[in-house]
């Protein structure tokens, strides 16, 4: 299930107010490889558990947010810093 186009047009990062877009399939595959290794954590320090089906990324490429069943999880503490993803 994908994020509604109209919703995507108005979503922004809750911290920086930077617009977000869907993460490409290629980048999602890289992210999920790192998640499987156990090297990716949320801003709150908890590990990302299991692969993501979809994710959003800020236009500046710094922060990712998971999408669960078509619903973006836009909570500050649930952001994922792109700095921790090898091969980005």
Average pLDDT of the residues in 50-72 = 96
For position 86, what pLDDT does the model report?
79
Residue 39 has a pLDDT of 93
Above 80 in pLDDT, residue 56? yes
Euclidean distance between CA atoms 83 and 46, whole angstroms: 16
88 domain residue, yes or no:
no
Output DSSP code: residue 60. T
Percent of the chain residues topping a pLDDT of 90: 90
* Within-domain flag for 29: yes
pLDDT over threshold 70, residue 38: yes
Q: What is the pTM of this model?
A: 0.93
Domain count, the chain: 1
Q: Do residues 57 and 28 lie in contact, with contact meaning Cβ atoms separated by under 8 Å?
A: no
**Is it the case that residue 8 has pLDDT exceeding 70?**
yes
Question: Mean pLDDT of all residues in the chain?
Answer: 94
Question: With the C-alpha atoms ordered 74, 79, 83, 86, is the resulting torsion angle positive or negative?
Answer: negative
Q: What separation in angstroms does the CA of 21 have from each of 38, 79, 87?
A: 25, 14, 20
- Tell me if 16 is assigned to some domain: yes
Boundaries of domain holding 76: 5-83
In a domain, 52, yes or no: yes
């Amino acid at each position: 299930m994908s994020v509604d186009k109209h919703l995507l047009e108005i979503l922004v990062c809750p911290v920086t107010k930077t617009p977000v877009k869907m993460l490409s399939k290629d980048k999602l595959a890289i992210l999920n490889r790192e998640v499987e290794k156990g090297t990716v954590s949320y801003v709150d320090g908890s590990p990302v558990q299991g692969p993501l089906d979809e994710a959003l990324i800020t236009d500046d490429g710094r922060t990712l947010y998971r999408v669960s069943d078509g619903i973006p999880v836009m909570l500050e503490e649930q952001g994922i810093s792109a700095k921790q993803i090898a091969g980005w």
